[in-house]
A and B are shown apart, each in its own frame.
Chain A
Amino acid sequence: MRHIISILIENEAGALSRVAGLFSARGYNIESLTVAPTEDSSLSRMTLVTRGNDDIIEQITKQLNKLVDVVKLIDLAESAHIERELMMVKVKTSEATRAEIKRIADIFRGRIIDVTPTTFVIEMTGTSDKLDAFVKSIDETTIIEVVRSGATGICRGEKGLHL
């Protein structure tokens, strides 16, 4: 099963490599990983998407918690949460295809943020599934590149990951 693990970690040099190193050393799989400082500059927040059965996820969370720099973590899959990922897609365009691409982007609530005579860059946020669906719905041969941030997430309601 897919799990989104949110981690508050000391904003120290090497903190990211500790987490990445743990996953490679123990043979766990990372689907995506994003990291950025929080409103408290001494802390980074990391969002990690991984897959595994319950036993593996339990070990992953325990091993992460064991890292001395990890302050707190939460498995978002355990409760109601909101997930978002940012994607930018660059596609080839022509007189004939421009309108159609714009229409599909609109359906997915994407925005065109750069236009050249031969290309569009479409910006889109949503769950990872929605982004997958968009990529599938446009003509594969027109795609020049796809850039995705990896998923981030937050708990719904008053529950949250903070000190």
Chain B
Amino acid sequence: MELNGAQILVQSLKDEGVEYIFGYPGGAVLHIYDAIFQQDDVKHILVRHEQGATHAADAYARATGKTGVVLVTSGPGATNAVTGIATAYMDSIPMVVISGQVPSPVIGSDAFQEVDMVGISRPCVKHNFLVKDVTKLAETIKKAFYVASTGRPGPVVVDVPKDITDPNIKVPYKYPRKVIMRSYNPAVEGHKGQIKKAVELLLSAQRPMIYSGGGVILGEASRELIELTRTLGYPITNTLMGLGAYPATDKQFIGMLGMHGTYEANMGMHESDVILAVGARFDDRVTGKLAEFCPYAKIIHIDVDPASISKTVKVDIPIVGQVKPVLTQMIEQVKESKKQPSKKALAAWWEQIDKWRSVQCLEYDRESSLIKPQYVIEQLYEVTKGDAYITSDVGQHQMYAAQYYHFDKPRRWINSGGLGTMGFGLPAAIGVKLAFPEADVACVTGEASIQMCIQELSTALQYKTPVKIINLNNRYMGMVRQWQEFSYQSRYSHSYMDTLPDFVKLAEAYGHVGMLVENKADLRSALEEAFAMKDRTVFLDIITDRTENVYPMIESGKGHHDMKLRVAPGTPTDRELA
């Protein structure tokens, strides 16, 4: 079969099983768009800004486990995509980004809409390619998908000069079934000896903790994690990226850990003697002050990326491999082992954890007449029966969603953890809704974040992706305000937004339903009404208590045992700003 470059590109995506491309046309990719026009298998979603394309594709990948695909033009199209590429990179999300490039002969001449995309994207991609020969195009696409989706996943950029997609140059096409790259051989199975040592250490623990992260979700190992945790009977905490890998409503789950983790999770980590870290990378938001991190613990770390091991925290038993096969082996060995966890030690440990739990660190002022953001998430949880896909932006609302929406399944919590990209939530919700049209999809956001990619409301209308936008409107950049309150004597430098749009009218202008919720009493019915409108995107502008802070909190530079807990409701500190 002879095809031109543009057709090869589209056919390769089809052969790769791609369902959706998220993109935006422009000069350098016009040949490709013409090839897209002439087929129906790969559906193109036209976003309103390239950042939106990357977030939508990224969230599609997070929700489905498939690789997200983006198509942007050269120059500004490519640079606009960079934030989304970096977002995917930090959270290890498989994504292939095809960027147009000026024709090969003029590369390097500062041609119209030329940027060095390979150079610009290099620090925030897993790998990138510049296609120099149309006969190598199909193979390059195959390699891009292979690299993006295997090992520790990540975004891969394929930069395609316009002459490569010239409709007049046809070459034989065959999509390779597999590629072998001598320089790229991601680890699979873990080292048997290390696994054996790890199991022995785990079984001898007196105060064990399982700390799992996004790697468990990426590695489809939630079932194995649950089985191992239940077999052992140990407490488990999840990172922000790992929520849902272990059911949050299970009694062995002690909440998220880290900066806004629960008291019991952080204290448990601090006092633990053996930690099993699974697909987590000891991020600074998790560890707090490194010198005080888990002072009594021996640490086992399972990770597919050898560079994640002992990067910030030195571990005692590293296991490089995919979490699924490693956990499977561990389960077998635990079951076969004559040694079993000490019942007495474990009972004492759970007693201690329950004491920490009794602090009830997530309690808030339920009597308040104002709408508390936590209350909104709790109501959202009830109305959606805990079974929605929740995307979020970045800030206080993100933490409330993580703390109060109890994720019982993996891939339900879609947020920008590593890069912390405001503007992620709305395009992400669209990406998820396309993947799961029947599911409830809500974007938990704030009035600051939502404005960073608000233009995607237009995309939501075009593709009929009825998502629900839960705007926790506190008229502040809440998390910035909170830090300014704690660390800058309440000097609220530029964290206040006093010229907000009328979000209801804005939603209506985009052809959606807008609802303003100002009274606590109206919240539940508004949520129910919104979710009952199955075929409409609904923007719920919820006016929340503007002085509310996220608790508990490990302030930066402090250790797990040094948490700031909420002061009792009604005390002056809590009301200072009201």
Interface size classification for chain B: 20 to 34
Contact B305 A10, beta carbon cutoff 8 Å: no
Contact B183 A10, beta carbon cutoff 8 Å: yes
A139 on the interface (CB 8 Å rule)?
A: no
By beta carbon, the residue of chain B nearest A13 is: B130
A10-B119 Cα distance, complex, nearest whole Å:
17
A69 on the interface (CB 8 Å rule)?
A: yes
Contact A55 B184, beta carbon cutoff 8 Å: no
Q: Which of A14, A17, A25, A68 is the one whose CB lies under 8 Å from B183? A: A68
Given contacts A13-B130, A163-B182, A65 and B123 within 8 Å (CB-CB)? no
B122 on the interface (CB 8 Å rule)?
A: yes
Quick one: which of A64-79 are within 8 Å of B by CB? 65-66, 68-71
What are the interface flags for B293-322 relative to A under an 8 Å C-beta threshold, 1 for contact and 0 otherwise? 000000000000111011100100000000
A160 on the interface (CB 8 Å rule)?
A: no
Most B CB atoms within 10 A — which of A18, A62, A68?
A68
Contact A59 B130, beta carbon cutoff 8 Å: no
A interface majority secondary structure: helix
What are the interface flags for A100-134 relative to B under an 8 Å C-beta threshold, 1 for contact and 0 otherwise? 00000000000000000000000000000000000
Quick one: which of B433-461 are within 8 Å of A by CB? none
Contact A68 B184, beta carbon cutoff 8 Å: yes
Q: Which residues of A contact B310 (CB under 8 A)?
A: 55, 58
Q: Which of A10, A21, A58, A68 is the one whose CB lies under 8 Å from B123? A: A21
A34 on the interface (CB 8 Å rule)?
A: no
Contact B127 A68, beta carbon cutoff 8 Å: yes
Contact B183 A70, beta carbon cutoff 8 Å: yes
Q: Which residues of A contact B181 (CB under 8 A)?
A: 68
A163-B182 Cα distance, complex, nearest whole Å:
9
Contact B119 A65, beta carbon cutoff 8 Å: no
Given contacts A68-B184, A163-B182, A14 and B130 within 8 Å (CB-CB)? yes
By beta carbon, the residue of chain B nearest A42 is: B182
Contact B122 A68, beta carbon cutoff 8 Å: no
A68-B305 Cα distance, complex, nearest whole Å:
13
By beta carbon, the residue of chain B nearest A9 is: B183
B147 on the interface (CB 8 Å rule)?
A: yes
A63-B126 Cα distance, complex, nearest whole Å:
12
Closest CB of chain B to A49's CB: distance in Å? 21
Given contacts A21-B123, A68-B184, A71-B182, A14 and B118 within 8 Å (CB-CB)? yes
A158-B254 Cα distance, complex, nearest whole Å:
55
By beta carbon, the residue of chain A nearest B122 is: A21
A70-B127 Cα distance, complex, nearest whole Å:
11
Closest CB of chain A to B134's CB: distance in Å? 17
What are the interface flags for A20-35 relative to B under an 8 Å C-beta threshold, 1 for contact and 0 otherwise? 0100010000000000
Q: Which residues of A contact B118 (CB under 8 A)?
A: 14
Q: Which residues of A contact B122 (CB under 8 A)?
A: 14, 17-18, 21
Q: Which residues of A contact B119 (CB under 8 A)?
A: 14, 17
Given contacts A10-B183, A163-B182, A68 and B147 within 8 Å (CB-CB)? yes
What are the interface flags for B127-157 relative to A under an 8 Å C-beta threshold, 1 for contact and 0 otherwise? 1001010000000000000010000000000
A13-B104 Cα distance, complex, nearest whole Å:
14
Quick one: which of A55-98 are within 8 Å of B by CB? 55, 58-59, 62-63, 65-66, 68-71
Contact A66 B307, beta carbon cutoff 8 Å: yes
Q: Which residues of A contact B305 (CB under 8 A)?
A: 66
A38-B184 Cα distance, complex, nearest whole Å:
20
Q: Which residues of B contact A65 (CB under 8 A)?
A: 306-307
By beta carbon, the residue of chain B nearest A64 is: B307
Contact B307 A59, beta carbon cutoff 8 Å: yes
Quick one: which of B147-202 are within 8 Å of A by CB? 147, 181-184
A25-B122 Cα distance, complex, nearest whole Å:
10
A26-B156 Cα distance, complex, nearest whole Å:
20
Q: Which of B127, B184, B307 is the one whose CB lies under 8 Å from A63? A: B307
Contact A62 B306, beta carbon cutoff 8 Å: yes
Closest CB of chain B to A25's CB: distance in Å? 5
By beta carbon, the residue of chain B nearest A60 is: B307
Most A CB atoms within 10 A — which of B122, B127, B183?
B183
Closest CB of chain A to B153's CB: distance in Å? 13
Q: Which residues of A contact B123 (CB under 8 A)?
A: 21, 25
A163-B306 Cα distance, complex, nearest whole Å:
21
Q: Which residues of B contact A18 (CB under 8 A)?
A: 122
Q: Which of B182, B183, B184, B311 is the one whose CB lies under 8 Å from A59? A: B311
Q: Which residues of B contact A70 (CB under 8 A)?
A: 183
Q: Which residues of B contact A59 (CB under 8 A)?
A: 307, 311
A3-B548 Cα distance, complex, nearest whole Å:
52
Q: Which residues of B contact A21 (CB under 8 A)?
A: 122-123
Closest CB of chain B to A13's CB: distance in Å? 7
By beta carbon, the residue of chain A nearest B306 is: A62
Closest CB of chain B to A71's CB: distance in Å? 4
Contact B306 A69, beta carbon cutoff 8 Å: no
A18-B122 Cα distance, complex, nearest whole Å:
7
* Top 10 closest pairs, chain A to chain B, by CB: A62-B307, A68-B127, A71-B183, A25-B123, A68-B184, A66-B307, A62-B306, A63-B307, A21-B122, A10-B183
Q: Hey, which bits of chain A sit against chain B, CB under 8 A?
A: 9-10, 13-14, 17-18, 21, 25, 55, 58-59, 62-63, 65-66, 68-71, 163
- 22 contacting pairs across A/B (C-beta < 8 A): A10-B183, A14-B118, A14-B119, A14-B130, A17-B122, A18-B122, A21-B122, A21-B123, A55-B310, A58-B310, A59-B307, A62-B306, A62-B307, A65-B307, A66-B306, A68-B127, A68-B147, A68-B181, A68-B183, A69-B127, A71-B182, A71-B183
Q: Hey, which bits of chain B sit against chain A, CB under 8 A?
A: 118-119, 122-123, 126-127, 130, 132, 147, 181-184, 305-307, 309-311, 314
Starting from the known contacts A10-B183, A69-B127, A71-B182, 5 additional A-B residue pairs (CB-CB under 8 Å) come to A21-B123, A55-B310, A62-B306, A68-B147, A68-B181
